[in-house]
Every structure is written in C-alpha cells, then in structure tokens.
Amino acid sequence: IKENLTRMARANKGGVNRLLGVILSIYLFHQDHFRHERQIYKLVIAATEENWSCVRAFKEFLRKILTEVIEDGVRTGEFRRMDAAATTGVLLDCFTWITNPILFQELNPDEVESRARAQVQLLKKALQ
C-alpha cells in the first residue's frame, strides 16, 4: 500500500486529485483485503486498537505524503500559503471515516467515492 500511496501522491494530477487518489486508494486497499479476509481484518483491528508500532509507522507515513502533496500545492500556487503539517492533521481528521480500518465495516461501498469526492471539493475551497 505504501508504494501505491506514494505513486498517487506524486502523480502529475494536481494537488486536489492527488489527495483524492490517496484517500480512495486507502479505501480500495481496505476493500480488497478486508471484505473476504476476516482473519487479516481482525489482525488489523487488533493492531489499530492496541496502537502497534506498525500502525504508528503507517500513520506517520500517511501524514508525511499528504504533507508533501499540500506543500507541493502551495509551491505551485494551487493552494494558498498555509502550515502544511497542521493542514494535514485536519485532512486526516476529516477522512478518518475512510482511513481508520475499525470504521470500514460501516461504509457503504456505493457511497464512498461520491462522499470522498464531495468532501475533497469542500476541502479544495478551503485550501485555495
């Protein structure tokens, strides 16, 4: 997943589309690995609830690549000047419903992409 998220974060699609790509990639990874692999899902839930070092490392990785996307958007003028690290924290809070595997079972697959796109469009207005 790290390779895929890095590829999405560094694609030549503009900051908003890169943010959406990262978020939807996390959801698609969860969908591919959790819907039919109950044991893997249970293991990831335990790791998340107990805050294992691998979970902390992934959260830090995600924070880093999203911060890079925001910094790049500021550099290119797509986003206004801002504290990229603080903004990343807010973005992660906004997308907890997708990024937290504990909440995965509550997601309606038919609504995830449209909800994420709507949320990114709202965030786009705040970032510009």
Q: What is the per-residue pLDDT across 40-87, written as a single tens digit (0 to 9) for each?
A: 999 999 999 999 999 999 999 999 999 999 999 999 999 999 999 999
The mean pLDDT of the chain is 93
Residue of 4, 108, 6 whose CA lies nearest to 66? 6
| Whether the predicted pLDDT of 17 surpasses 90 | yes
pLDDT of amino acid 105: 83
Q: Look at phi and psi of residue 77 and say left if phi exceeds 0, alpha if psi is from -120 to 50, else beta.
A: left
Q: What is the pLDDT of residue 36?
A: 83
Taking the whole predicted model, whether its pTM rises above 0.85 is answered as yes
